[in-house]
Structures are given as C-alpha cells and as structure tokens.
Amino acid sequence: MPADQSRVILGDDVFKLTEKGQNELRGSATSLAPSTLELLILIDGVSTVSETAARTRTTDNESVTNMLANLLYDGLIDFVQGQDGALDFVDFFQTKGPVKHSVAATAKAKKESAATSALLQQHGYFVRIARRAKTRESADKTGTLTVLVVEDEPHLANLLKHVLADEGFTVRVAKNRDEIVAEFRRPPRPDLVLLDVTLPDADGFDVLQRIRLHPVLKAMPVLMLTAKATRDAVLKGLAGGANGYVTKPFEIDVLIRAVNVVLGLSEGEQSARESGDPWPA
Amino acid sequence: MNDDELGRAIDKLRADYAAQLPHTVTQMEDLWRCIVAAEAPLVRQAELIRMAHSISGSGTTFGIPGVSRAARALELFLDPFGMSGVLPGPAEQETVLALLAALRQAAVSR
C-alpha cells in the first residue's frame, strides 16, 4: 500500500523502513543529513513517533515530524498499518465520547449482577463469574497462549506472572496506559487480558470499553480482576462486555480456574457448579 | 518450574510484600499528614484511597487478611470524601488516624 502522504503524522504513529529506505541504509553513500540518517536508523516498525523522537538527539518534536514527512515523501519509510493486518492504536486512549451499552446487554448484566450481589454476600470477596469466551484464538505459532496482566501493584503482578507461567501461559505485564498500548501493539496479540480496574492513569472499565470498540481487539477475552466488588462495579464490567469477573483478594486456584474457563481450557459447567457460579458457559 | 520452585518463588513474593508493607503505610501516614496540613493538594486524597485499595485487594492473596480488612475499612471510610473532593472534618480526621493506626498494626503484627 502506498504511503498516505497527506495524513497528519501523530505521536502514536509507527513507521517502518521501505525497501528503498533499507537500501539507503545499506548503501555506501547517502545524501541524507546526519540527523535524518540517525532518525532513519531508529525507525524499527515498533516504536511510536514520540518514542523515536525521545531517542534522537533532535529533541524538537516538530523537527522530527518534519524529517519523517520528508522521509515519507521520498518513499524511504511508510506507516505501519498494524500487525495482523489492521492493528491501529493511534487513538486507543483518545476520547470517543460516552459509550452506551445495548439495552439487552444492560438488562442481562443487571440480572447477572443481582445474582452476583447474593454471591458476594454469601462468599465475601471470593466470588467470580467466568464464562467461556465466544472465540478462542492463539496468536502464538507455538500454541502457547499469551495472557496480558494489567496490574499496577508490582508484587501482585509478579505473583500472577509466576502462577500463570507455571500453568504454561506466556505472561506479559502492563501497569499503565502506555504499557497497555505497547502490549497490544506487540505481537503476538494476547489471548486473554486480566484487567485490574484501579490503575494510576487509567480506569479498567474504560480500557474494557475501548477494547470492545476496537476493530481488532473487540473479541479478545477479558477477565476483570479487581477489588471493586460492588453491584454497580460488577454491572459495569458485565455490561461493558467482560468475559469474567474475579474479585480481589483472590485465591490463586480460583483465578486459575476462571482463566481456564474463559479460555475454554477447562469444563466451564463443571467449574461453575463447583464454585456456585450461576452463569455456566 | 516445578512445584517446589513455584512454592519458593511465591514464598519470596509473600515475604517481599510483607516486608514493604510498613514502608507503604508510612507513606500513607505521611501523605495524610500533608493533606491535612494543606502541604499536599486535596486531590492527593485519591492517591491515598488508591493505596488503601491496592492493599485491600492484595493483602489476603499474600496471606495477610488482617491487612486487607484494615485497608478496606480505610478505603471505604475515605471514599465518599474522595468522590466529593472534600477534606474530612476534625472528628473524621481522628477516625482516619485510627484506621491508619489499625492498618499499621495489621502490617507489623502479621
């Protein structure tokens, strides 16, 4: 696809070298200015414009953008349209306006959250809702499933990393907005997101909504992992399309079971019955 | 990683978590003191609530349920003030101090 030279270059854009750009770097002579050449070397198909700009000695963002525009015009670089065809996270965290859930989704969530309140009273923190995800995919060619843990408490993130890795998952961790976007951008795409709600610079429910609105990520299974255990919070998570809900503090066995059920790796109905879950797959 | 190795790793994480708790509580106490003395902006009350929330959601998982309970009590008490953006009154401030003291007690006497 030819580069769209009329497009405004944004801080979140990602560029890759074209064949012409690669030849320029391999060639013994170049007509590029040293600062432009330095920028060309830094373009790796993964880093955003802002990240690349931060690594250059040209700290002026405007200069970097101008150089990128020239490189684009000369056909030495091109926009990365995204891994797997169409991943584009330019506006993942940009305002899209309030999201309205469908009447059916809200009604269903209300029914579920009412039942959850009863379970919360019955079991205290140790309540979970886990449903089999509608789709199951493995982006990793080795067949290993990847879990993205979105958690800002470092000890908890480490614990999750250990126990999930022990279960045979590849585990990646993100603790804030930038890291979430970076992890979505990075292949392979996660097979499951374990999503905390209270993050330093983001709200997990908002992240969930944005995932469900994203053309590529919308079917990604999301398991809420949060100490927000009120009926309203559970309703918000369910209406927002969470595949499961585990309340903190959690028992490791319960969490692993919920992960396996959501990923379709264990018998949902059996697990649901064992835990008193009223919403079997 | 075999079961023993995983067990050891989890034990170490639990020990690390428990060891840093008193320090975290000190940070919370300092932050609260600064907020009350207007040395820190009132909006940082949300930070204090978030710290309590974090401990509330992790303590039991790391084998310290008393810490989860104490942090939860603090979080629930402060939450309405945080949402309305007001500083608790003098009587409520005493309660916050008592809840922080209870949290410290739970953190050191695990």
What end-to-end distance do the CA atoms of chain A give, in Å?
Answer: 42
Number of structural domains, chain B?
1
- Residue A251, chain B, CB below 8 Å: the answer is yes
Name the superfamily (CATH) of residues A103-275: Response regulator (3.40.50.2300)
Closest residue in A to B3 (Cα–Cα) = A166
Positive or negative: CA dihedral B44, B49, B54, B60:
positive
Residues A21 and A77 sit within 8 Å (Cβ to Cβ): yes
- Residue B53, chain A, CB below 8 Å: the answer is yes
Identify the residue with better confidence: B53 or A122.
B53
Band of pLDDT at residue A104, cut at 50, 70 and 90 = low
- pLDDT for residue A105: 63
Region class of B63: left (phi > 0), else alpha (psi between -120 and 50), else beta:
left
The two three-digit tokens of residue A265, written as one number:
């790796």
- Domain extent, residue B93, equals 3-108
Q: How far apart are CA A1 and CA A241, in angstroms?
A: 34
Average pLDDT value for residue range B55-68:
93
Q: How far apart are CA B64 and CA B55, in angstroms?
A: 10
- pLDDT for residue B53: 93
Query: To 5 degrees, how large is the angle CA A216–CA A218–CA A222?
Result: 125
- Residue B17, chain A, CB below 8 Å: the answer is yes
- pLDDT for residue A99: 54
pLDDT over 50 (residue A85): no
Give the CATH number of the domain where residue B27 resides: 1.20.120
Chain A closest CA to B18's CA: distance in Å? 10
Q: How far apart are CA B51 and CA B49, in angstroms?
A: 5
Q: How far apart are CA A131 and CA A244, in angstroms?
A: 6
pTM attached to this predicted model = 0.68
Region class of A37: left (phi > 0), else alpha (psi between -120 and 50), else beta:
alpha
CB spacing of B61 vs A252 below 8 angstroms? yes
Sorted by where each begins, the domain ranges of chain A are 15-80, 103-275
- pLDDT for residue A4: 53
Task: Determine which of B47, B48, B58 to mutate to test the interface with A (most A C-beta atoms within 10 Å).
Answer: B58
